Amino acid sequence: MVVCFAEVRFLLMNAAVVKNALSTGVLVRAAYITLTWLTTLVLFLQDTDLRRQEQSGDLLQPGLFLLLVLLSVLLYLGVSLMDPGFVRSDAGPELSAGVSEELHQMLPQPCRRRCGRCLLQQPMRSRHCQTCRHCVRRFDHHCPWIENCVGERNHRWFVLYLAVQLLVLLWGLRAACSGFVQAPAWGQWLEQNGLLMLASSATGIFSVVVVLLLGSHLYLISLNTTTWEFMSRHRISYLKHCGDENPFDRGILRNLWEFFCVRRVIAWEEAYAKISASPA
């Protein structure tokens, strides 16, 4: 009986390990890393600028490119595995962000929210993510690319990752285009340039995607709003009563400074309470 119980327990543990190993997040990250290094390998195996510089002994640019690729992979893993700002206790905004009970009571009742799924007191600008099954502080969006939420703790790192990734992609696209060779027939050309064509297509498509993502995030950051707030303003309790006014906007320069340089948790309830208390 004891042996049977031990065998069942062993099988359940193995099943859990296999489930975690085959989870969507692991598969997405493995696919990203594999595609990144395969593309890099193609750029160094084909007759590109990177390959020619390496063969001539000029290792500065090839080495810098490899360092940027490695940095982009490390940033990707960091952002995808980082806690984005999960709300893990019922401390409420007055404890988690240093907001006094008196100030908290100044907020309109619809803005003092308790999550209907995890039943925790939600700090302002947080939202419950059904995929991660947690409320996330200053929720921006759930990104399938990194299989993680983008929130208060990892948003700036996500933007930095996008910037580094864009540099890598544009450099890779330029290197891939430098390796194309002429051929007398279409079949011969495709045979000689097929891998470079795949590499240039992948880097070109991802470059467009990253440019759009980076541009949209920088625009929203300059307004001190999030993707979720921008797309769902009419449904968010603490914004739909503000009309066209953004209670968190402090000007472009200050918004950018606080996003990229301020490390402390910002009490968004304080900024909102001031707007709510001001005369119409």
User: Catalytic amino acids?
Assistant: 143
Tokens of 173: 């696209």
Inter-CA distances, 31 with 1, 41, 51, 64, 266, Å: 43, 15, 25, 24, 36
Phi, psi of 134 (to 5 degrees): -145, 155
Cα 94 from Cα 35, distance rounded (Å)? 45
Residue 97: strand pairing partners = none
Task: Kindly give the residue spans of alpha helices, DSSP state H, lying in the chain.
Answer: 2-21, 24-45, 49-55, 60-81, 93-96, 101-106, 155-177, 186-222, 227-231, 252-261, 268-277
| CA distance between the termini of the chain | 74
